[in-house]
Amino acid sequence: MTRQQTIDEAVTRSLEKYFREMDGMAPSAVYDMVIRAVERPMLEVVMRKAQGNQLRASEMLGINRNTLRKKLQMHGML
């Protein structure tokens, strides 16, 4: 099993639990909820692995350094 499958499975289990616990309520903004829940911990781990180096972190993530800075600001991580 690869890491990606493990992450996929964790997200799937979490979403299934979320919908079960909705108890008839209509879900909304699921996409934004999932992105917020996954993005911050991912940024935290990658920034630690990159020892705070934003250029190295952006390369690890495969995104532009300016995009990384915007995401770090958005999550209050700068």
pLDDT over threshold 70, residue 5: yes
Give me the pLDDT at residue 51, please. Answer: 98
CA distance 47 to 60: 9
What integer pLDDT is reported at residue 52 of this predicted model? 98
Q: What is the pTM of this model?
A: 0.78
The pLDDT assigned to 66 comes to: 98
pLDDT tens, 9-66? 999 999 999 999 998 899 999 999 999 899 999 999 999 999 999 999 999 999 999 9
Q: What is the pLDDT confidence band of residue 2, given thresholds at 50, 70 and 90?
A: low
35 CB burial (10 A radius; 0-12, 13-18, 19+): exposed
Q: Of 4, 26, 2, 31, which Cα lies nearest the Cα of 15?
A: 31
Q: What's the rounded Cα separation, in Å, for the pair 42 and 46? A: 6
Cβ-based neighbours of 58, under 8 Å, separated by 6 or more:
64, 65, 67, 68
pLDDT at 3: 64
Q: Which CATH class is domain 3-74?
A: mainly alpha
**Residue ranges covered by each domain of the chain:** 3-74
